[in-house]
Structure 1
Amino acid sequence: MRLVAAFLAALLLQLGLTASHLWWVFAACQPLLLVVVATARRLDPVGVAWCGLAAGLASDAFAERIIGPGGIAGAVAGFAVALVVRRFEMEGPLYWIVGSLLASACSELTWMLVLATLGVRPDHAFSGVLATVAMTGAAGLVVAAGERALRAWRSPARHRRRVLRRL
């Protein structure tokens, strides 16, 4: 249920970031890929690929692009992230940063390859790919920092220190 809520929140965030009054670099961020990275902890690689497929198809639909290449790219990215996370047993901030960078890079490269095989011209070039990877990686860094702050806030050591100060 949390993943569904996160998926819907990421979808709304992605729609908000593509608003015309924001700087174009913000529109390059793909928060839906962060949901794909989050599923790598809970699901097997095939399940993560299915989540990536859903994220890619939703991204294609809301960006008014050809439906399909984004889904394929999301599935490949999800599968790659799940394999790397399981192989190297990533945890903590490294999980989010590497996962988001890998997901966005795999997604963009696969998307470009699929469009090239279809003979369709992509809506952005190399600078757009770099912006997407950089902004999605930055979003992964923000999520990692937030997770670390939340973990520190809920830590038993912090609770003990607070109780000892009251005594």
Structure 2
Amino acid sequence: MDTFKTVTESQTTLTELMIPSYANFGGKIHGGIIMGLMDKVAYVCSAKHAGAYCVTASVEDIDFLASVEVGELVSLMASVNYVGRTSLVVGIRVVSENVKTHEIKHTNTSYFTMVAMDDNHLPLQVPGLILHTDVEIRRFFQGLHRKQLKKYYRQEESRIKSDFEMNETIELLKTERCRIERVK
């Protein structure tokens, strides 16, 4: 497959009213509700680009910057930022709008890595990405950079496990908020 699609061909916006059953005991919308909506919009955006069923492979950085209230509209704007051979990175920006005051808050931004699947549930090659704007070029480059960082972090985790030295670690942890009470 040597096809390419533009970023705008798969851009997707999902808007949903936040209802009382979505709220936690503090009256704010559950983070899990927002995360579920993010997964849904990531699926739609990636499936539109791939022309196939897509599954979530990983989620990066869901930091909640502002709370969402019952009665607000939440809009999730998704865009394919980067593509590999079978994977796509979908950037999602989430905003909430108070329909009475028209105040708009940026609640979070995240990146979902999705993998396209064929009818036999095997990874499927996705179309390449046509980049038209400086923003699209920057986002693609950032996606590539995040992929390289993720590989580096995995290697570092493996190195830490293999090079783990208990006495050095205990010494380093003395300045942290933990108390070691080893059981024999």
TM over 0.5: no
Larger Rg: 2
Query: Which one has a larger percent helix, Structure 1 or Structure 2?
Result: 1
Relative to the length of structure 2, the TM-score reads: 0.28
**TM-score, scaled to structure 1:** 0.30
Larger proportion of strand = 2
